[in-house]
Amino acid sequence: MIKNVDSVKGMNNGYKHIDWSVIDDLVSRISEDCGARGIAVGVVSRSGNTIFERCYGFRDADGRIPVDRDTIFGLASVTKSFTALSILQLERQGLLSLYDRVSDHVPQFSGRNTLAPIRICHLLSHSAGFFPQHRTTVREAIEGTAFSDSLDSELAYSADFAQRGVELVASRLDGEREFTGLPGERYSYCNDGYGLLSDIIRTHGPYASYGEFVENGICRPLGMTRTGISFIRSSLDENASVLWRMRDDKWICDKDYTDNAFVLPGGGAMKSTLSDMMKYLAMLLSGGMSQDGTRIIDEGRIRLMEQDHISDSPYSSYGYGLGSFWMDGLRVCEHSGGLTGVSSQIMFAPSAGIGTVVLCNTSSVPVSCIARAALRLALGLPEEPARCGIGPQHWPEEEAGEMAGCFCTEEGDEIRLYTAGGSLCLEVNGKPEELFRRGPWLAFVQRRWSGAWLSAMPDSSGRVKLVQYGSRIFRRSIGNEC
């Protein structure tokens, strides 16, 4: 991938010895393997100093227009950290408690079928008990209505459209009769939970929309002048990324920032730039303080976002809008994002005061590998050894037999587990994946650039009706067929 040398910033003096060509090589290999068109990488310190910054490839590949530090990318689920921070700002002002029932703040959600009251803190940590839901999009919500999107009346900032969105999302969640467990018991990623949080922000803050709250309460005080939730303005910006994704085995591209956009924006609507996101990371690293001394939020509440509130895999946890894991004895916080034409990652070590952001305008690119490598370089850690399986393993016959079957989510994903040659095998959306047993009811899925944990959840009778794959909990399909 072409390296845009003119975007390389002056290195912080203490980091000049680092061989950043490692990142150049990694970006090149990942781009070739995954078809990435444009990537921006930045590493920043707690003080806001740039440690490393480099842009690769093109924001418009057909026009050969390079990425730069002010190119707009989608953030997708990195948005959730902005949503969590906004909720904590409201909590700091005494406008709500994290232990309030969601139904007390979202009248459209009664919680009538839930096993126990769902509280705001459960939505923040993805532990409300909801299975992954069908993504209600902006396009679905306006179908058959008088709503339309325009620069004069953007749906992203419309209170009336937000009202329709919360009615759609809340009614569907209210209709659920099966749950992953009691609230607070299990982690199960749910975009709709963050959708409800964005409506709480809209109704409790001083602004008419979620977007205005985030932009005025977080972005402007940090000098993030090119960050927001607008779909139309982002797509019309001269320095916005063209979005690339694979569909039906063909690459397609456009500037359709509303494709797959959530009807409630708190789960994934933010767009930003490398320059702006480095300011955001510096604020998180400095405990809620902007570089000019403006207090965005107190340090204790930043730490609350980073805290381990619930385990999301054998070696990682989720807090409020941020996940965390341990890397060579250092605690690292992070969040990734993925939507149409979006692959994003933030990753930072709070105790070391160093963080990294990677933005890409292509779907399904493992940017977390780039972020992790850049962070390790800046921290002076040795190159991480490649993950490797230990070969096919024999699975206990009873365990493999009970796990075998088809499991699905309402997001449209399916996994199939089946036995072959004494081992348990896996297909994800029809594609075979390497599966390695790591313990009772536990396996690791190995890919070239990444991996994911798969764990079965036997009930009290030993039957497996639920399987967690990555961040989602899948239900066994009716009839056990995909």
Same domain (yes/no): 319, 451 = no
Asked whether residue 390 is domain-assigned, the answer is no
Same domain (yes/no): 321, 428 = no
Report the CATH number that the domain containing residue 168 is assigned in CATH.
3.40.710.10
Same domain (yes/no): 419, 315 = no
Average confidence (pLDDT) over 11-19? 74
Of 329, 350, 385, the last residue of a domain is 385
Please say if the pLDDT value at position 77 is more than 70: yes
- Mean pLDDT score of the chain: 93
Q: Residue 15's pLDDT band (boundaries 50, 70, 90)?
A: confident
Same domain (yes/no): 416, 379 = no
Predicted confidence (pLDDT) per residue in 115-125, tens digit = 899 999 999 99
Same domain (yes/no): 362, 255 = yes
Residue among 339, 348, 219, 201 nearest 268 (CA): 339
Same domain (yes/no): 432, 368 = no
Asked whether residue 460 is domain-assigned, the answer is yes
Same domain (yes/no): 261, 314 = yes
Asked whether residue 392 is domain-assigned, the answer is no
Report the CATH number that the domain containing residue 465 is assigned in CATH.
2.40.128.50
Same domain (yes/no): 236, 283 = yes
pLDDT of residue 392: 57
Same domain (yes/no): 343, 441 = no
Range of the domain at 172: 1-385
Question: Would the CA dihedral through 141, 205, 77, 103 be positive or negative?
Answer: negative
pLDDT of residue 377: 97
In order, the DSSP letters of 244-298 are EEEETTEEEEE--TTTT-BSSGGGT--EE-HHHHHHHHHHHHTTSB-TTS-BSS-
In order, the DSSP letters of 108-171 are T---TT-SS--BHHHHHTT-SSPPP----BHHHHHTTSS----SSS-GGG-HHHHHHHHHHHHH
What's the total number of domains in the chain? Answer: 2
Q: Residue 160's pLDDT band (boundaries 50, 70, 90)?
A: very high
Of 385, 417, 443, the last residue of a domain is 385
Same domain (yes/no): 102, 226 = yes
Same domain (yes/no): 412, 329 = no
Of 363, 385, 407, the last residue of a domain is 385
Predicted confidence (pLDDT) per residue in 354-375, tens digit = 999 999 999 999 999 999 999 9
Predicted confidence (pLDDT) per residue in 367-406, tens digit = 999 999 999 999 999 988 766 555 556 789 999 999 999 9
Tokens 């230990």 correspond to what residue? Answer: 390
Same domain (yes/no): 151, 77 = yes
pTM, full prediction: 0.95
Asked whether residue 270 is domain-assigned, the answer is yes
pLDDT of residue 387: 64
pLDDT of residue 1: 64
Please say if the pLDDT value at position 2 is more than 90: no
